Amino acid sequence: MRITEMIQSKKVGGQLSEEQIHSLLRGYARGCVPEHQMAALIMAVWFNGLSRRETIEFTRAMAESGDSIPPGSFLPCSSADKHSTGGVGDKTTLVLGPLLAAAGVIVAKMSGRSLGHTGGTIDKLESIPGLSVHLSLEELVSKAGSIGLAVGIQTENLVPADQKLYTLRDATATVDSLPLIASSIMSKKLACSADTLLLDVKVGEGALLPEIADAQELASMMVEIGNSAGQRTRAAITDMNQPLGCTIGNALEVTEAIDTLRGRGSSQLRHLCLFLGSHVLALCDDDTEPEENYRNLASLLSGGEALDKFSEFIENQGGDPRITEDTSLLPQAEEMVEVRSRKCGCVCGIRTSEIGAAAQKLSAGRDASGQVRDPAAGIVLQKKIADEVQCNELLATLHRGSTADARIPPQLIDRVRSAFCIGETRILPPQLIRALVTDEGITHLKDHCVDNSVG
């Protein structure tokens, strides 16, 4: 294997063979490929991209670089996985996982942490007293098989090539390469061997991808990769021009997820979870339609079965299931400060990235060592886009956790206030679900019926 030849080929826009790609990533995972040569190669990929064939092989090679869940581990039941590209206030896994398990689908999910404004799914779950996410692949399979749902943190030998490569991409400013993003996400999904996969690709001001064209391209890549590997895959492209739901912060988001599982909470979050779940069930069973599945899943929320499954999941992983009845058992804020409007009108926009940055300043995010600074910290929104606002009306509440060094400063209150754009003209809420991507192509949707209300 001549790494310099591969670098030269990609540098001038050439393509790598299947054998070259697999040899490269196998060698890199084993430490046989120097970091400086891999850095040069991925920089060439950043400039010249990968073809779809190369992207599929790149993903397969990474998925095969370590341990995996054996295909068919949950037969005769259907198994499903879900992945979101993230955003501000994204807690869909906490609702969708129990909902699918209550519907009879097995969800064995490997999730990660985040280095951003709040934690990832793992950090949110770790705000639940006693809950453990450190599961071997065997434990993940066993726990999911017993109750239908298990969530664990990515193990060291699950796709080790991707773990090394992501660190290198971060250090070389190549994280935003679409083929490398697609391969990173899908390699872990292929290694977990679910029968079906639903991808939630966020687009907008608070997302990894602000532009709809890039979101569509990434979604199409990942759907093709999944289907080519025999994993029935669809993707939804969903809005992240405002936070999802009404909370940003780990324990706060667990509380909102519980409210949603009770049939209350944000109608926006509820609708998204039901939509995503309806398409998972359609992938699992060709004889069902998403509209029928949506109604059946809604009945599992209203009937309490999904909440019961979440309680069972918490107990199965060592956590305190009483939180589903008493959320005050979750970490609580030491200080809460209101942010009020200085004008009246209509919320015509929210600078979502600013809300996320403010949550991080409150210690809801991660520090340099990778630890969540305070699970109780975060922001609760009282107003969303299209809501009417009176002068001095409450926009948001800031939560400071017990580990913060000082009280909430006035500058942070002003920062959150200025993230709300208030105008005179009434507008509609933003379209929540923008498009559906299948193996047949992209279908653009009309979805203006979902408001932002809490009830």
Known catalytic residues?
Answer: 83, 162, 169, 184, 188
In this structure, the strands spanning 433-438 and 232-239 are antiparallel
Q: Does residue 363 sit in helix, strand or coil?
A: coil
Strand order from edge to edge, sheet including 378-381: 247-248, 378-381, 394-400, 335-340
Residues 6+ away with beta carbon under 8 Å from 5: none
| Closest-CA residue to 429 (of 398, 401, 387) | 387
Joined together, the tokens standing for residue 349 give 């926009």
| Amino acid sitting at position 329 | L
Beta strands in 312-363 (DSSP E): 335-340, 345-350
| Closest-CA residue to 87 (of 241, 215, 269, 258) | 241
Residues 6+ away with beta carbon under 8 Å from 173: none
Residues 6+ away with beta carbon under 8 Å from 139: 150, 152
Rounded Cα distance between 121 and 95, Å, is: 11
What's the DSSP call for residue 407? P
Secondary structure of 200-211 in the HEC alphabet?
EEEECCCCCCCC
| Element at 444 (helix H, strand E) | strand 441-444
| Amino acid sitting at position 111 | S
| Closest-CA residue to 379 (of 354, 399, 349) | 399
Q: Does residue 334 sit in helix, strand or coil?
A: coil
